Amino acid sequence: MATLRLGDTAPDFQQDSTDGPISFHNWAGESWVVFFSHPADFTPVCTTELGRTATLDREFAQRNVKPIAVSVDPVDSHLQWVGDINETQKTTVNFPILADADRKVATLYDMIHPNSLVNATVRSVFIIDPKKTIRATLTYPASTGRNFDEILRIIDSLQLTDSHKVATPANWKVGDDVVILPSLQDPEELARHFPKGFRAVKPYLRLTPQPNR
């Protein structure tokens, strides 16, 4: 399986999970998806990550996002681990964890790298849009917990830039100024798209208030 790249269609699959059998594309429906992997159950960093995902339920729902996790352990192990997560992280895991014991999904998404353990998925994140297109990927080392604020920030940027002719600058967060695309030059079109005006730092660097706020 070749490495998946941005713009590729997220591969479909059928696999068992803590919520029962899942057919991925059907399960995703018209939602965005945050799909992330874990090396194994009962691991400390991943316990905090799954707990954090559960506590962000409203944030994901507001963005029309469904989270889903995968580990190579079986469902019964997942269910025991969920009990620990709920207890230690003071939350309720409310999203599916795929049981990828045959490594079908891990292989399909290139989550087992040659230099990693054969039973451990690389800690990857795939952000997938409603058209099932892979829009962003992140890969973390086992020692470093994922930054869920950054994952939400990426989704906010993607959803904003899909709807408006802008890009988001370094360290952008919701409410900050954004960058007008260099391809947009017609004065009438600029006025129509950006009624609040803009500030031209350079001809190619034009800042404007976030259009949808």
- For the chain, domains (ranges, CATH) are 14-146 (3.40.30.10), 164-208 (3.30.1020.10)
With beta carbons less than 8 A apart as the criterion, state whether 65 and 30 touch.
no
Phi-psi region of 205 (alpha: psi -120 to 50; beta: other; left: phi over 0): beta
Q: What pTM, to 2 d.p., does this model score?
A: 0.93
Active site residue 10: no
Looking at residue 3, what is its pLDDT?
81
DSSP string for 48-115: HHHHHHHHTHHHHHHTTEEEEEEESS-HHHHHHHHHHHHHHHTS---S-EEE-TT-HHHHHTT-S-TT
Mean pLDDT throughout 123-145?
A: 93
Task: Please tell me the distance from the alpha carbon of residue 128 to that of residue 144, in angstroms, as a whole number.
Answer: 23
122 vs 111, residue with greater confidence = 111
Q: What is the pLDDT of residues 57-103, one digit of tens each?
A: 999 999 999 999 999 899 999 999 999 999 999 999 999 999 998 88
- Beta-ladder partners of 68: 35
Examine the pLDDT at 142 and tell me if it is beyond 90. Answer: no
Candidate list 33, 46, 98, 160, residue with the active-site label: 46
Mean pLDDT throughout 126-147?
A: 94
